[in-house]
Structure 1
Amino acid sequence: MEEGRLCQWSVCRSLLAIVQWWGFNVTVIIINKWIFQVPFSLKFCLSIFTLPKLDFKFPLSVSCVHFITSSFGAYMVIKVLKLKPLIVVDPEDRWKRIFPMSFVFCVNIVLGNVSLRYIPVSFMQTIKSFTPATTVILQWLVWRKYFDWRIWASLIPIVGGILLTSITELSFNMFGFCAALFGCLATSTKTILAESLLHGYKFDSINTVYYMAPFATLILGVPAMLLEGNGIMEWFETHPSPWPALIIIFSSGVLAFCLNFSIFYVIHSTTAVTFNVAGNLKVAVAVLISWMIFKNPISSLNAVGCGITLVGCTFYGYVRHLLSQQPPGTPRTPRTPRNRMEQLLPLVNNNDKLDDKI
């Protein structure tokens, strides 16, 4: 009886964790799109609510706001509320190891916000599913690491689905597409750097944000002021209600930090396979809700391409799980790594779980 209740509570906790993760993720994406885009209407219970126009087309500054609020939130969780213990990192390692990752982390977030300005949420989320493929390809090209044939087979539907979605995308924008695609490369580079540079430090998502967000704020602050400072001042002068709009922008940063915390909770409440499947379903939910709100046109072939990509991502996660369950000593690649650095790099990156950040 007691075991049954514990099992039911574990299932309920996992479901609640996944639902809150979906909620924060979709909300952050929709608010960010709202910040960059013209106003839209929400139809609810036979009433139509027209949200105010923000038209804050400054992705560098929005990313900087997210980093500032996330730095403050991580400090509150670790130092004030003491919900998570601080993982101490040597000052020298902070600059040699964390700073390079913070730069790539910063580029990743900025490219994501830039892509949201130019392409629909549905298209951006589909391209983001290309990250497993870019991670494998980078490890193969840079470190000459060879993978099990099943890994390569799982990438075929991912790449094919992305190509089909891109060709049939009715709201295609080359600049937004390139920003999202290079964002995938930045995410893959960040996770590979995390494995090789942070060897010995077992970071969770909160400690990751605690160390990386302040560095990212320093990296992004000066370019944001130089490139977007004049535009923001002009926006202040011309916008009918700038202060309520700024509250919404800072609220998106708070929600972004909550998203990081929810990711940490989901990882510790579910298995790897469940996390992977839930992540792909999350993309489908984000695509559906964004289509319902923004009404961006989606052709039938475009929807098929998105579905093929999600199936490929699920298959990739399943293969990764099977390979991770092999007993020690089981050969995973056709050859032995040539040096110690390669031995630090896993067959498939374990930090994939933490890719979905602010």
Structure 2
Amino acid sequence: MMSMIRSSSAATSTGGLRLTTGSNSKRQPNRVVVQSLNSSTLSNTEKPVLSLKPLYVSAERSISSGAQSRPILRDLRCKALHKDEEEKPPASSAAQKVKIGIYFATWWSLNVVFNIYNKKVLNAFPYPWLTSTLSLAMGSLIMLVSWATRIAEAPKTDFDFWKALAPVAVAHTIGHVAATVSMSKVAVSFTHIIKSAEPAFSVLVSRFFLGETFPVPVYLSLLPIIGGCGLAAMTELNFNMIGFMGAMISNLAFVFRNIFSKKGMKGKSVSGMNYYACLSILSLIILTPFAIAMEGPKLWAAGWQQAVTDIGPSFVWWLAAQSIFYHLYNQVSYMSLDEISPLTFSVGNTMKRISVIVSSIIIFHTPVRPVNALGAAIAILGTFLYSQAKQ
């Protein structure tokens, strides 16, 4: 803890602060007791100081001018340290950059793999409600086993925690299902192009529902986002309204998820990994009855048999892979929020979409018109400009 003590020649006559010092024969730093004698002599912005810790004191001396020397306002910088405390050197910027680079590379790689296997599964097994449920179930199972075996430390939660998490889980569930429905109807690249419009939804919701205002550059950055997404949608060869609306609903749901998360998690000391684990468990509980109502076991059984017949045992691996990688990429993204700034995260999220769009086009041989590619590029550029202007 750093303390600033401001003293002058007048302080000794009015009371102010008294410093009691002592030294020892081992030439250790003096022990200093700083005690407030009269708080009324302090200004409104200064508070009485009372410390019984060893203080390391350095002071500016009086300045002499010619033959006379006059005392000036001096700053005593005191650092309170316990005898067993040591100053930690600042983390190396190079090491921090490497750490962030590892986070980004892992995050992007896991997301690309998830999207590939998710699309493979949905092409063979077009039941997005069950697919979404299995993704959450796998993540919940992984974390429950990790807590039970103490591979990861279980979070300490209470009723208030789960109450605050409930609206976040509802929004997360809607966004997850809507995105999966979208990818079951259209190309992965198109879904992610539309999902790049999430910043526009964020600004509009914050402006009209929360009354927040933003600088002019933020509003201007929305123009290329909206224009690029619109151009990409109009020129999409395999356009589907359900797929388009699914991506739009996902954008809106994830914006509300972020808003609820900021409001509900203030003061909660749960790590990013455990926070997403709890979110997955609660979302699974919410989603399961709706998935049964929307599709049902009869359709799932028939679809499963058809998929195994057409694809073979590989289909089971596809389903397991998409569920595992869904949890892992989301977990890494939440963990990265503990280590990087929101601006860095926004830039990383923009680059993630580029990697997913490009990789999916290459792997699935998605036909893309030049005008469609231009619209995607404009939308992605607008997202990047938004992340810069938001700061």
**CA, structure 1 residues 218+242, in 2 after alignment: closer, same or farther (shift >3 Å)?**
farther
Identity of aligned residues (%): 22
2:318 aligned partner: 248
Residue number among 299, 303, 311 corresponding to 1:231 in the alignment = 299
**CA, structure 1 residues 145+169, in 2 after alignment: closer, same or farther (shift >3 Å)?**
same
Shift, 1:260, TM fit: 2.1
Residue number among 196, 221, 237 corresponding to 2:288 in the alignment = 221
Q: One-letter code of the match for 1:63?
A: S
Residue number among 246, 262, 269 corresponding to 1:195 in the alignment = 262
Shift, 1:134, TM fit: 0.6
2:221 aligned partner: 154
- Residues of 1 paired with 2:246 and 2:147: CA distance? 33
Shift, 1:230, TM fit: 1.1
Question: Over aligned residue pairs, what C-alpha RMSD do you find?
Answer: 2.3
- TM-score, normalization by structure 1: 0.77
Structure 1: gaps (5+ residues): 38-54, 322-358
- Residues of 1 paired with 2:195 and 2:274: CA distance? 24
Q: One-letter code of the match for 1:72?
A: L
Residue number among 288, 291, 294 corresponding to 2:358 in the alignment = 288
1:44 aligned partner: none
The structure with more radius of gyration: 2
- Residues of 2 paired with 1:107 and 1:257: CA distance? 16
Q: One-letter code of the match for 2:105?
A: V
- Residues of 1 paired with 2:244 and 2:159: CA distance? 38
Task: Indicate conservation of the 8 Å contact 2:231/2:375, yes or no.
Answer: yes
- Residues of 1 paired with 2:283 and 2:349: CA distance? 25
Q: One-letter code of the match for 2:114?
A: V
1:349 aligned partner: none
Residue number among 111, 133, 139 corresponding to 1:64 in the alignment = 133
2:110 aligned partner: 24
| Bigger helix fraction | 1
> How many corresponding residue pairs?
300
- Residues of 2 paired with 1:143 and 1:262: CA distance? 29
1:90 aligned partner: 158
Question: Given the alignment of the two structures, is residue 124 of structure 1 paired with residue 191 of structure 2, yes or no?
Answer: yes
Shift, 1:10, TM fit: 2.9
**CA, structure 1 residues 283+7, in 2 after alignment: closer, same or farther (shift >3 Å)?**
same
- Residues of 1 paired with 2:92 and 2:341: CA distance? 16
Shift, 1:183, TM fit: 0.7
Residues 265-320 of structure 1: per-residue CA shift (max 9 Å, x gap): 44345444433223212211111111111112111111111111111111111122
- Residues of 1 paired with 2:129 and 2:209: CA distance? 29
Larger mean CA deviation between 167-176 and 68-77 belongs to 68-77
Residue number among 372, 383, 388 corresponding to 1:302 in the alignment = 372
Residues 112-144 of structure 1: per-residue CA shift (max 9 Å, x gap): 110001111111111111111111111211122
Question: Given the alignment of the two structures, is residue 36 of structure 1 paired with residue 105 of structure 2, yes or no?
Answer: no
- RCO comparison, higher one (Cα < 8 Å, 6+): 1
1:260 aligned partner: 330
Instruction: Determine helix, strand or coil for the equivalent of 1:199.
Output: coil
- Residues of 1 paired with 2:212 and 2:91: CA distance? 45
